[in-house]
Amino acid sequence: MKRLYFYAIVFLSTFHFACAQSLNEVPLDQAWKDKITSLAPEKQSFPAKKKNILVFSLHTGFKHWVIPHTEEMLKILGDKSGAFSVSGSKDITEFEAKNLKKYDAIILNNTCSVGDHRNLFWDKLKADAGKGYDSAALMKKAQELEANILSYVEKGGGLMVVHGGNTTLNNSWDFSRLLGASFDYHPKQQAIQVRLEDPNHPLVQAFPAEGFNHIDEPYFYKNAYAEGDFKPLLYFNNAEIEGQRKGQEKTEGKTYVSWIRAEGKGKVMYISPSHNAQSFENPDLLQFYLDGMQYVAGDVECDETPVGK
């Protein structure tokens, strides 16, 4: 009965907000933290030892207001379940090879880049260098930090990328293939019916068979996305999305909202929801995040067969 009541509230709230196309910012206060804590899972789904996770939340491009809420939500999931020790940072030196060794998994939290390079590391290094910087040296360092991520995952580290974090290194084909896609564009915020690709997959067991509805930016992708070298978990129907880019409208098929993939000994997961902290008030989505954290930390054995194969 409580579950039915919750979905009734979610449906009515979604209907109310759909007319506005987007949601207002909510304060990251103790009341919100207490609400998320009360909705968060009591324990992890897959038995495992406690792991260390870094939530990296630096942005140089678009600032998603949900960044601090997402970091706090992830910390709450780790603390309440006892599955993870979660720390946060905006310091790019965390991506030095010696520092990456401290973590079982890294989460890129809306780490949007900007400019022609669309390279978060270059953006930060350039900003710190000030006038008269050596562009070749800075780019070499930025490429070194990117290579460290690739090596980290290849050797067994985990990588979760949340929402706008897919633009971290958006022009890099190496990063695109690691993640499974690069960001292309998104239409306006709108009510999206997120559906389950395979209701029997262990990483989507938190959701009801019909999936869930929430207000978000429907992301479309480019580059490695066309290769389909990932196992899809969630999707939306293209025909249901309003405001698509003129000349590129998709009236058939689906676009994926979340997926996983193995890379060497490591695990990678992309989760698009959400641009809005209100989405985290869905306990099923919180469970999905916690299960995803366990996946990238190496705690979950599951089907990873790429959709493109």
Peptide bond connecting 81 to the previous residue in cis, omega within 30 degrees of 0: no
Average of per-residue pLDDT values in the chain: 93
How far, in Å, are 242, 251, 272 from residue 245 at the CA level? 9, 12, 19
| Structure confidence at residue 11 as a pLDDT band (50, 70, 90) | very low
Say what the pLDDT of residue 1 is.
45
| CB contact at 8 A, 295 and 302 | yes
Q: Residue 118 pLDDT > 80, yes or no?
A: yes
With 60 as the cut, is the pLDDT of residue 13 above it? no
Q: What is the DSSP string of 214-269?
A: EEE---EEEGGGGGT-SEEEEEEEGGG--SPPTT----SSEEEEEEEEEETTEEEE
User: According to CATH, what is the number of the domain 48-296?
Assistant: 3.40.50.880
Mean pLDDT over residues 232-254, rounded?
A: 97
Query: For residue range 257-269, what is the model confidence (pLDDT) as tens digits?
Result: 999 999 999 999 9
d(CA 58, CA 106): 13
Is the model's pTM score more than 0.75?
A: yes
**So what's the pLDDT on residue 309?**
80
Q: Where are the domains of the chain?
A: 48-296
Q: Residue 8 — pLDDT band, cuts 50, 70, 90?
A: very low
pLDDT for the residue numbered 4: 43
Task: Give the mean pLDDT of 206-212.
Answer: 97
For residue 21, name the pLDDT band (cuts at 50, 70, 90): low
Residue where the block lists tokens 């999931």? 77
The answer, yes or no, to whether residue 179 has pLDDT greater than 90, is: yes
Amino acid in the structure at residue 241? I
Residue 229: is its pLDDT beyond 60?
yes
CB 181 within 8 Å of CB 234: no
Beta strand extents in the chain (DSSP E only): 51-56, 84-89, 105-109, 158-162, 182-185, 190-196, 212-216, 220-222, 231-237, 254-263, 266-271
Confidence band for 135, pLDDT divided at 50, 70 and 90? very high
Using the structure block, give the residue that is written with the tokens 């401290």: 102
